[in-house]
Structure 1
């Protein structure tokens, strides 16, 4: 058997009936079946998942290996088992409840081969789920994690060059119950010799289950802090302190940590609120920097600042304000060069929050009440001062004459 171009690793647990369409999408790939192998790992299912995989292996034109094992407790174990058995030049991790576009693998392998890149992202669309969107603006033959938005999609459903993974001994962290794919993918981005983004064809359909069994929707809030801690440490270990690290740290602060201090915080009991602040403190102390703060919107920055300052009583006011979809007044100062957004506690002496926490970029400020009026008034004041200077200058000249 010649080496296949790509190995599709499918970890499956209690995946019926979604698995049926998932496997059909693999069978329908336009890539020559001889160029493709499938390694499917049944992680101790009791709903017929294993039997479905074996039936698929018996009929599929591709080479299919089915491994049945005791339940490992999470997606990392099955992925690692599949990765250890993979022989393809590339590996693609396919979740058993999702599916591929017909040309997905053929297009992604071609993209990697043409550009010599180690990771390829194929456009993702959601079916009853909302996928990340900011990275699909245009196809990119070659990019990296610092100069694009790919840091906002850290799921494992990417094409990875297997030689890269083997060279660095990369595997999924089986100690994490959520966020293990973020750790793996971020490391791959940082180690990769280039990343490609295929934005003009839907390669992957992210399917929302109606049985509530998505791992990302379940589990204790403490798991999210474990995930944030692991990703922040990875970034800090691999990227020196400075602008590039700050760029990447935005992701765990914004996507993993901040939601713990959003609307759900209002529903938390006092013990949970206190525990969240305790869990966040070492992360804020170690990784929260002015460079990270500058890259966030004002209400995001303000909430995390209050977490860093350990001020839960002030945070509640801000979260309630944001949840109610109120808009802060824009305050234009310094001859129109500075715009502050008047979220709760702005310039309140008792709060002691620095003005720069409320400082907004013009692009963000334009959407807020009072910005245009304040900016116009500032323009008029500048124009009036200019006229006054001209009159004073003219008056002095006339007196000299």
Structure 2
């Protein structure tokens, strides 16, 4: 006799049996009244190697373990494999190091069904208890959020609950074959495709585990590898079809959280190959095409790097990074174009919003 189709299909990708996959799976099942199925994808390992790590939950009828051996060190493949086998009204993905706060799935499903939500952005917190404030939505707004007005791009990681019909409508899955950033296009597409997007910080959280010995996310990569996801996004075309306000918000986020940190992690000229410099110039060109006005809201300090990013000039780039490290608090607070110092995505405005209510 076959099991009934669940209301939620949750996919957990596991590449290392030393991960706390038992904690991840248990957090989705214990005390949950919503019909749920957890698909554990054994990535590059045999399914039976997870029997011990899963412990008692391996015998739960709501758990299935499948194998994927694609030879690629990326979670995109196993997540897509699990999503392809999902049949429920709602789907979600979760890393094997992470887990859900008690009652999360029940609360998320209740909210999504009550409000006809297409994508519910989960509240995030670290295992230590630190709360992630992004997205910094307009005060008091939890539903029918706007990508630009509610700064949604800062939470591009697709963690939460997605209506399966909306995922099919968007038609984008995680990007396979990348060293990192495999979730960027999917996360941004879910925010910008036009479905109802909600974020209710009062709901139970998705918890980022911090006790693994090593996480793939922190592996050493070249700048070119770091930018593969943005190269891919630039090749898709759909971001250029968005309203100008949405393109601008996306460009600011990608400059600020993806490009500039990756640049500043490489402060020496020896860190930059010709390929890396060309990669930075290429991404800078695309971001300016996406929104030429985005740079106006970046701070004076941020703009020092942006101004030379398209030049492929190693000395100019190193000099800009040196200037950023020596930047004054004023340079870090004021926008490159003073008229935009209090724009929605300017750093000073963000700092003030962080002091406000969730």
TM-score when normalising by structure 2? 0.82
296 and 130 in structure 1: CA distance in 2 versus 1, 3 angstrom threshold? farther
Residue 314 of structure 1 and its aligned partner are, at CA, apart by: 3.6
134 and 252 in structure 1: CA distance in 2 versus 1, 3 angstrom threshold? same
2:65 equivalent to 1:63: no
Q: Distance in 2 between matches of 1:39 and 1:110?
A: 22
Q: Distance in 1 between matches of 2:339 and 2:199?
A: 31
Gaps of 5+ in 2: 350-358
Greater strand fraction, Structure 1 or Structure 2: 1
SS at match of 2:123: strand
Residue 214 of structure 1 and its aligned partner are, at CA, apart by: 2.8
308 and 265 in structure 1: CA distance in 2 versus 1, 3 angstrom threshold? same
47 and 85 in structure 1: CA distance in 2 versus 1, 3 angstrom threshold? closer
Aligned to 2:214: 212
Post-superposition Cα deviations, 1:89-126, rounded to whole Å, max 9, x if no partner, equal: 00010111100011111111111112212100121001
Q: Distance in 2 between matches of 1:127 and 1:36?
A: 24
CA contact 2:224–2:275 (8 Å) conserved in 1:
no
Q: Distance in 1 between matches of 2:93 and 2:116?
A: 20
Alignment of 1:158-237 (within 5 A): 158-234=160-236, 236-237=238-239
Query: Which deviates more from structure 2 when the two are superposed, residues 199-208 or residues 320-329?
Result: 320-329
Q: Distance in 1 between matches of 2:174 and 2:134?
A: 25
Alignment of 1:320-331 (within 5 A): 320-324=322-326, 326-327=328-329
CA contact 2:296–2:337 (8 Å) conserved in 1:
no
Residue 5 of structure 1 and its aligned partner are, at CA, apart by: 1.4
Aligned length: 339
2:19 equivalent to 1:20: no
Residue 277 of structure 1 and its aligned partner are, at CA, apart by: 2.2
Gaps of 5+ in 1: 331-339, 342-355, 368-401
268 and 318 in structure 1: CA distance in 2 versus 1, 3 angstrom threshold? closer
SS at match of 1:166: helix
CA contact 1:16–1:47 (8 Å) conserved in 2:
no
CA contact 1:42–1:69 (8 Å) conserved in 2:
yes
Q: Distance in 2 between matches of 1:50 and 1:366?
A: 48
Aligned to 1:378: none
SS at match of 2:293: helix
Q: Distance in 1 between matches of 2:176 and 2:331?
A: 47
Aligned to 1:394: none
Aligned to 2:354: none
Residue 69 of structure 1 and its aligned partner are, at CA, apart by: 3.2
Aligned to 2:92: 92
52 and 85 in structure 1: CA distance in 2 versus 1, 3 angstrom threshold? farther
CA contact 1:111–1:196 (8 Å) conserved in 2:
no
Alignment of 1:78-117 (within 5 A): 78-117=78-117
274 and 49 in structure 1: CA distance in 2 versus 1, 3 angstrom threshold? same
Aligned to 2:157: 155
Residue 51 of structure 1 and its aligned partner are, at CA, apart by: 1.8
Larger Rg computed on CA atoms: 1
2:267 equivalent to 1:266: yes
Q: Distance in 1 between matches of 2:31 and 2:221?
A: 35
TM-score when normalising by structure 1? 0.74
CA contact 1:53–1:66 (8 Å) conserved in 2:
no
Q: Distance in 1 between matches of 2:245 and 2:313?
A: 27
- Over the aligned positions, Cα root-mean-square deviation in angstroms equals 3.2
Q: Distance in 2 between matches of 1:46 and 1:126?
A: 30
Post-superposition Cα deviations, 1:297-351, rounded to whole Å, max 9, x if no partner, equal: 1211221112124444344333223324644579xxxxxxxxx97xxxxxxxxxx
Residue 175 of structure 1 and its aligned partner are, at CA, apart by: 2.2
2:292 alignment partner, one of 270, 290, 293 = 290
2:33 equivalent to 1:37: no
Q: Distance in 2 between matches of 1:55 and 1:366?
A: 49
Higher relative contact order (CA 8 A, sep 6+): 2
